[in-house]
Amino acid sequence: MHEAIVIGAGLSGLMGALALAEAGLRPLVLAKGHGATHWASGTIDLWGKDERSPRDALRSIVTARPEHPYALIGVDAVADALARFRAVTEAARYPYVGGMDHSVLLPTAAGALRPVALLPITMAAGDVRAGGEMVIAGFHELRDFYPPLAAANLAAQGIAARGVYLQLPPVPRVRDFGPRTLAQLFDDPAFRKQIGRQLRQQRGSATRIGLPAVLGVRDPLGVVADLQLLSGAQVFEIPTLPPSVPGIRLFNVLRAAIERSGGRLQIGSEVIRAEGVGHILTTLCSEAAAREQQHRVRRVLLATGGIAGGGIRTNDAGLVRETALDLPVRMDVNHAGWFAPRFLDPGGHAIYAAGVAADDRLRPLGVDGWPVYENVAVAGATLAGADTLRERSRTGVAIATGWAAGRMLAAYGCDATRSY
């Protein structure tokens, strides 16, 4: 019998597993594959839809939109999650900076600007509001990162920037210089020494240099420090297209913290079915390598990533389905209304707000408005009630609800005087 199983290894599942592990429940994480960590930017976006600070936006959501995931758990629980997240990343020597009081504006690989609440310290010098001329540097060998394009777009927004290409030092024959390969090369001090020298030559009057986010897998802080010393400028990372090196680092940090506290991750296991007795879920069935496995369990955290993560599936007949536990999905419009006529429609696309409705303990609700299971909590992109894509709150919701759900599930069964 497992005390706790987490379904999904994205940010929400990992934060939930951490909370359960730190409560001594030795959670097992079952995931079909990696989560969006390996594709997304590695930043934590709490709110970016308008100019308000994340804290102000969240406070108003709590009163105006009670079904929103932030409202279900409350602003204090969001702050609690961020505090734990920051402490864990700091302890792993990969600290995140920022918080709820204001967003930082970071350049993207295309030279657009993106509001971010928490960011790895390796990206901090990229805050465009800090001022100072930038050089954006890259490699011809790295696809989808074009320094001249990024610099031109930044300059068009009034940010002094210049794009340069660096010469890739001779390296053993590699077929594909993707972000991961480059990051491994930066782990080598001799490689970064050669890059640092080129940066000094190219820097001119710039005070900071933006590079693709490939500055090492093992010790990014050490890589940034070396490059700063060699170039004489502040150095920062700009997220690349997938795979995401910052996201992979973050996954590694959270995984290590979970395992240190007694949890375990099993990637490559898809949960395909659940069985229960009344309102208690008792068994999960997973499938890996065409072999079915049954897991008796006391508590379950569903963190399967919604539509983008595979936790919710749709078909062309208009069916919307939750894939692991077969929970009811809240979808407020019919098939014809799923998408707005234009891709960047300011109203967003209704389909992205589809998800599992939950109560303030994040228990999944049935169509009658009562919890389907007492010992299940839902977190992250599988929750209904928010268009997190449009709000730019996807990672914020994932971290905050994952941690809150893990904490609440850990308390399940501890209070004999009332149902959880």
Residue 208 contacts ligand FAD per CB under 6 A: no
To the nearest whole angstrom, how small is the minimum distance from the Cβ of residue 271 to ligand FAD? 4
Could you give the string, one character per residue 135-154, with x where binding to ligand FAD holds by CB under 6 A and - elsewhere?
--------------------
Reference 211, options 171, 245, 251; nearest CA is 245
Position among 99, 305, 364, 406 found at the interface with ligand FAD (CB under 6 A): 305
Binding flag, residue 287, ligand FAD (CB under 6 A): no
309 or 385, CB closer to ligand FAD? 309
9 binds ligand FAD (CB under 6 A): yes
- Binding segment toward ligand FAD, per CB under 6 A, in 50-58, 65-73, 252-260, 297-305: 297-305
Question: Sign of the C-alpha dihedral, residues 366, 369, 370, 376?
Answer: positive
Q: Is 90 helix (H, G, I), strand (E, B) or coil?
A: helix
For ligand FAD, which stretch binds (CB under 6 A), given 29-37, 143-151, 334-342, 366-374? Answer: 29-37
Write down the least CB distance from residue 90 to ligand FAD, Å.
Answer: 20
Comparing every residue's Cβ against ligand FAD, the nearest one is 10
Distance (Å, whole) CA 339 – CA 333: 10
Does residue number 324 form part of the binding site for ligand FAD (CB under 6 A)? yes
Among 137, 395, 400, 410, binds ligand FAD (CB under 6 A): 395
- Pick from 3, 4, 13, 377 the residue near ligand FAD by CB under 6 A: 13
Nearer to ligand FAD among residue 123 and residue 161 (C-beta): 123
* Piece of the chain touching ligand FAD by CB under 6 A; list 130-138, 191-199, 303-311, 354-362: 303-311
The 3-state DSSP class for residue 116 equals strand
Q: Is position 240 an interface residue for ligand FAD (rule: CB under 6 A)?
A: no
User: Do 76 and 403 form a contact (C-beta atoms < 8 A)?
Assistant: no
Near ligand FAD by CB under 6 A: residue from 198, 234, 261, 323: 323
Asked if residue 374 lies in contact with residue 420, where contact means CB atoms within 8 angstroms, the answer is: yes
If you search the block for the tokens 């909370």, which residue do you land on? 19
> For the chain, how many residues are written?
420
- H-helix or E-strand containing 185? helix 179-186
Cβ-proximal residues to 30 (8 Å cutoff; 6+ apart), any chain: 5, 6, 7, 266, 269, 270, 271, 284, 286, 295
For position 36 contacting ligand FAD by CB under 6 A, the verdict is yes
398 binds ligand FAD (CB under 6 A): yes
Report which of 284, 319, 378 is spatially closest to residue 10, judged by C-alpha positions: 378
Our finding on whether 122 is near ligand FAD (CB under 6 A) is no
Task: Say what the alpha-carbon torsion angle 252, 25, 271, 8 is, to the nearest 10 degrees.
Answer: -30
- CA 241 to chain CA centroid, Å, is 15
Dihedral sign, CA of 33, 35, 39, 42?
A: negative
Interface residues with ligand FAD (CB under 6 A)?
7-13, 30-36, 39-41, 43, 45, 242, 270-271, 303-305, 308-311, 323-324, 380-381, 394-395, 398
